[in-house]
Structure 1
Amino acid sequence: MTGAVVIGVGNEYRRDDGIGPALVVELEDRWLPGVELFVSDGEPTRLIDDWDGVPLAIVVDAVLCEPSTPGAVYRTDVPLHGQADHDALLESHPHTAGSHSLGIPDALRLGQALDRLPKQLVVYAVEAADVAFGTDLSAAVAAALPGLVDSVVAELTSSRAD
């Protein structure tokens, strides 16, 4: 049985937008029993398919902010199940404007309408410096990756202890 999913959202061919897929690659080298890893383009129905009914879903995505602090990492515990303010939280939070046209707020609305949400949703947003074509992360985002990996692993470990 799956106890958690980690979903790395992004496009590895758009530089910093590849932070989610890069995280998944790093986690593949670790022993994480009961954890499924997914790479996603952020399309809402795919997110819903990946997180439907799991105890914990962790989503990692790049965000574009103004003013920008490339490499900054933000963690949001998204309220679910009967807490109608999750739309307002995500859409008003300055660090949830992903680098995709559709994203987590759309998936949440659809998932709620279809009753296909995880039990707990945690979003890690990493501020991007460059989402132009290319396969390398910017220096600031690459420097944030090891700490992000440690944070996600700690989150997964603590959720198993609960």
Structure 2
Amino acid sequence: MSGPPCVLVLCLGNPDRGDDGVGAAVAALLEEHLPPGVTLMARSGDMLALIEDWAQFDAIVCVDAAAPMGEPGRIHRIDLAHEELPRDMAFLSSHAFGLGEAVALARTLDLAPRDIVVYAIEGACFDGGAPLSAQVAAAAAPAAERVRAEAARLQEQENHA
């Protein structure tokens, strides 16, 4: 592939806040297991920096924890090319500015990649110092596999665009 990498896998969350650490857990499982040319990045801080992170990419697969909606560990796939982030799904951030706001701002500024797919994993506990709950820890491996396949699909799509 020539030029800059086209697909970014972006895993969000704070591993020191219980289930908010699922992004870091998925990132650890994906290290060395993504297709060549796919970039992996983990972020736990400033969500505004996301816009700079994804500026050079054509497609993003994002992993983040979501507030519990009834089934901790449930994995939701949201393709932002075809749907909006659900209003009833809260992405938990230690900052007032989270994933939904970063996507909206990037779109307003015409800086959002064409393809953004979000894998949101429902959490149960977001307390400081808490470990991942058992349900969320069990969801990390299946989420990592789905993200790996998604990244490969997007890379293939971008290479033929």
Q: Aligning the two structures, in what range does the TM-score lie when normalised by the shorter sequence?
A: 0.7 to 0.9
Q: Does the 8 Å contact 2:14/2:21 carry over to 1?
A: yes
1:131 to 126, 130, 133: 126
CA distance in 2 between partners of 1:109 and 1:152 (Å): 22
Task: State yes or no: 1:62 paired with 2:65.
Answer: yes
Identify if the C-alpha distance between structure 1 residues 31 and 120 changes in structure 2 by more than 3 Å, giving closer, same or farther. closer
Identify the residue that residue 53 of structure 2 maps to in structure 1: 50
2:135 to 109, 123, 140: 140
* Cα root mean square deviation, aligned: 1.9
Identify the residue that residue 14 of structure 1 maps to in structure 2: 17
Higher helix share: 1
CA distance in 1 between partners of 2:76 and 2:85 (Å): 12
Q: Does the 8 Å contact 2:15/2:22 carry over to 1?
A: yes
Identify the residue that residue 79 of structure 2 maps to in structure 1: 77
Give secondary structure in 2 for the equivalent of 1:90: coil
Task: State yes or no: 1:2 paired with 2:17.
Answer: no
Unaligned regions of 5+ residues in structure 2, if any?
none
Unaligned regions of 5+ residues in structure 1, if any?
81-85
Identity of aligned residues (%): 34
Identify if the C-alpha distance between structure 1 residues 14 and 74 changes in structure 2 by more than 3 Å, giving closer, same or farther. same
CA distance in 2 between partners of 1:31 and 1:75 (Å): 18
Q: Does the 8 Å contact 1:10/1:21 carry over to 2?
A: yes
Alignment coverage as a number of residue pairs: 152
TM-score calculated relative to the size of structure 2: 0.85
The residue type equivalent to 1:73 in the other structure is I
CA distance in 1 between partners of 2:102 and 2:109 (Å): 10
